[in-house]
Amino acid sequence: MTQLASDDFERAALGANWSTISGEFAWFITGSSDATANGSDSSSNYSAIDWPDDQWAEATFSAIPIPASAGAGAGVATRCDPTNSARTYYRHLAGANGANDSCIGKLVGGSYTQLALASNQGWVNGDVVRGEAQGTDIRLLRNGTQVLSASDSAIAGGDPGLTFSTSTTGDPQFEDWAAGDFATANAPTKRSHGFKLQQMADAEDDGKFNELDVRNWWCEAFA
């Protein structure tokens, strides 16, 4: 699992690395420290790099809203349509502990489907909300522990981001955000170039190679 991008929001404006999802409002920076959204459905995708289809995104709440209905809350988005020509992405939402505080949904061409829902999962300010989209496995995690998981194939790829779905009491704030892939650590691979140790001859001619034969060794470069 590799982190491919992050943002601590320690500046005045969200800037060019972020785009706004079609048909929604943009997230913005408050107090030169946190990302926030205000009163309306808001989603921004991190568009500065090309993202792998299998991806995760996570953010740390510095203000957590209270969902007023199922499907409301704030969190991260995955597989946002990078062209922003259609309102298409997965929502991984959380809200302050209580009714309907955890939700996974999808927007496909602007049509909203709620895939999974749970209540009373203990969310508090300071928690890390994480969304994962790996193949058809769509997950919501709280502080690294899975809360909900759905199976869906509607959206194959796109950008990760931030998302807010009204109606809530209070607006969300996140103090940081990160996203990445599920690639495993590099496995050893066959070398395509380097040096090969060669021996010219057994200097002592005794059928054994030892320190006395070292003068007959040399390195040969290959590619």
Partner 1 sequence: MTRRWFIVPVIGTGTKGDPYRVKLSIAHSALIPSNPDGTPRFNWALCLVSAMDFAALDADVEVEPFPGVSLDDQLSSIPAAARNRIQTALINRGVDLTGIDLNSTVRDVVERVVERLDARLDHRKMQVPE
Residues within the interface to partner 1 (CB under 8 A): 41, 70-71, 88, 104-119, 121, 136-138, 146-154, 165
Q: In the bound complex, what is the minimum distance in angstroms from residue 179's beta carbon to partner 1? A: 21
Closer to partner 1 by CB, 17 or 136: give it.
Answer: 136
Q: How far is the CB of 149 from partner 1 (least distance, A)?
A: 4
CB of 127 to partner 1, least distance (A): 15
Say how far apart CA 160 and CA 21 lie, in whole Å. Answer: 11
Residue 33 or residue 134: which is nearer to partner 1 going by CB?
134
Residue whose CB is less far from partner 1, 63 or 68: 68
Closest C-alpha among 57, 126, 76, 130 to residue 96: 126
Closest distance of CB 122 from partner 1, Å: 10
Nearer CB in complex with partner 1: 17/119: 119
The C-alpha atoms of residue 149 and residue 135 are separated, in whole angstroms, by 12
- Shortest distance in whole angstroms from residue 136 CB to partner 1: 5
d(CA 141, CA 130): 5
Q: Which is nearer to partner 1, 149 or 216 (CB)?
A: 149
